[in-house]
Structure 1
Amino acid sequence: MAQDPGRTGQPRNRQWLWLLILPWIGVVWVPFYNKIEPTLWGFPFFYWYQLLWVLISAVITALVYTKTKALPSRRAGQGGAR
């Protein structure tokens, strides 16, 4: 019988998922970054702040993924196909 790929190991700490709310808060709170100054390489703050959150979100998502993915089961290699 084939194993369900979602249940192959032990689930890890799910509290890391709360980090995913940080990019949402940083981008949804528009009055905070709705300004021109300071500029960075000629780009207004409004644009480079959003671009910075794209990079931060990618790092946070990778971190949360690695911290929450299931650990490999010790018996995953045993049994084999019949």
Structure 2
Amino acid sequence: MSEAPEEARPPVSPPVVTPVRVVIALCLVAPFVAMLWVGSFAKTDPAFIGIPFFYWYQMLWVLISTALTMLAYQLWQRDQRARGAAKGGAAQ
């Protein structure tokens, strides 16, 4: 196998932790924590229209997870556009 010479490779920058990326991570981790913490929802009361808490809590998290994933995606897209604009503006 042949490797590209050192000068042909683009410089690798270290990962950047920004407040937006922390919010993105929290949006993506929250549903996992909520579903893995079984003790918080392993009960039947309060019932909602006759459905035990155990079931409607999980179904509610399906909707919440969808909203949080959409929010994380939108924040990621905005962050990538801002980074692209910053790189483009700095290069000129």
TM-score w.r.t. structure 2 length?
0.61
Corresponding position of 2:39:
31
Aligned structure 1 segments of 4 or more residues deviating by more than 4 angstroms: 72-75
2:21 pairs with 1:14: yes
Stretches of structure 1 lacking an aligned partner (at least 5 in a row): 1-12, 76-82
- Shift in Å, 1:49: 0.2
Corresponding position of 1:59:
67
| Paired residues, number | 63
Q: What letter corresponds to residue 21 of structure 2 in structure 1?
A: R
Corresponding position of 1:41:
49
- Shift in Å, 1:14: 2.4
- Higher share in helix: 2
Distance 1:71 1:31, change over 3 A: same
- Shift in Å, 1:73: 8.8
- Equivalents in 2 of 1:59, 1:51: separation in Å? 13
* Cα displacement string for residues 3-22 of structure 1 (whole angstroms, at most 9, x for unaligned residues): xxxxxxxxxx4222232111
TM-score w.r.t. structure 1 length?
0.68
Q: CA RMSD in A?
A: 2.1
- Equivalents in 1 of 2:49, 2:69: separation in Å? 27
Identity in percent: 38
- Higher share in strand: 1
Higher RCO (C-alpha under 8 Å, 6+ residues apart): 1
